[in-house]
A = this chain, B = another copy of it.
Amino acid sequence: MIKACVFDLDNTLLDFMRMKREAVEMAVEAMIDAGLKIEKEKAIEKIFRLYEQTHIEDQHIFDRFLEVETGKVDYKILAAGIVAYRKAKTANMMLYPHVRFVLTELLRMGLKLGVISDAPRLQAWTRLAEVGLHTLFDAVITWDDTGVRKPNPEPFIAVLEKLNAKPEESIMVGDWAERDIYGAKELGMITVFARYGDTFGTQNSGADYEINDPLELIDIVKSLNKNV
């Protein structure tokens, strides 16, 4: 009997990379408009390479980019970039198609809902609030809550405890095979690979199920619960 469904956040519920790409592009255009001398595509590429050097949540990426690129931080250019980034981020913070419908449908079916995210707590929660999902989940476990990332067992154990569900009664849905799927499987959860959010070109996810659309989740739950 499936009692709980746990989701990764970025690239599973939220189309995170699309948001990131749009926001960085708008930021670069605004910085060029404010006086930065650089070719647009080159700047975008450099910024994403800087993200790889630290992490995708780096809150000082444009400071670092300007420092590397121009040897100093011109605040006129920095501010133009930040403001454009924020506006584009808000405008492009979107759920994948059907996510909202599926989540409310799972609630109607009596399931408890959880999130495990490796993002920092404030970022994870503000993203949920931005798309209006923050009141929907019974448990949200972020990086700050356990201090370790998936596939470590701690965040999976923490979310299941809060949802009051055993691993075998729970589904984990995620786009990152090595983290989401591997970690959940080790613990005995049922695993669903969100292929629609795959940015790695994953060949073999190792998951029990693979979905190309969040809608498919409803049938998976129904079939798992049909003989109960």
Q: Which residues of A contact B (CB under 8 A)?
A: 30, 33-35, 75-76, 78-80, 82-84, 86-87, 90, 121-122, 125-126, 128-130, 134-135, 140, 142
Contact = CB atoms under 8 A, between A and B. Distances in A.
Contacts of A134: 34, 76, 79-80
A126 B82 contact: yes
A71 B79 CA distance: 35
Copies in the complex: 2
Most buried by B among A86, A129, A130: A129
Contact of A75 (B125, B130, B135): B125
Given A134-B34, A135-B35, A76 B140 contact: yes
Contact of A129 (B83, B128, B130, B140): B83
Contacts of A125: 75-76, 78-79
Nearest to A87: B90
A83 B34 CA distance: 27
26 contacts: A30-B129, A34-B129, A34-B135, A75-B121, A75-B125, A75-B140, A76-B125, A76-B128, A76-B129, A76-B134, A76-B135, A78-B122, A78-B125, A79-B122, A79-B125, A79-B129, A80-B129, A80-B134, A82-B122, A82-B126, A83-B126, A83-B129, A84-B129, A86-B86, A87-B90, A90-B90
Nearest to A128: B79
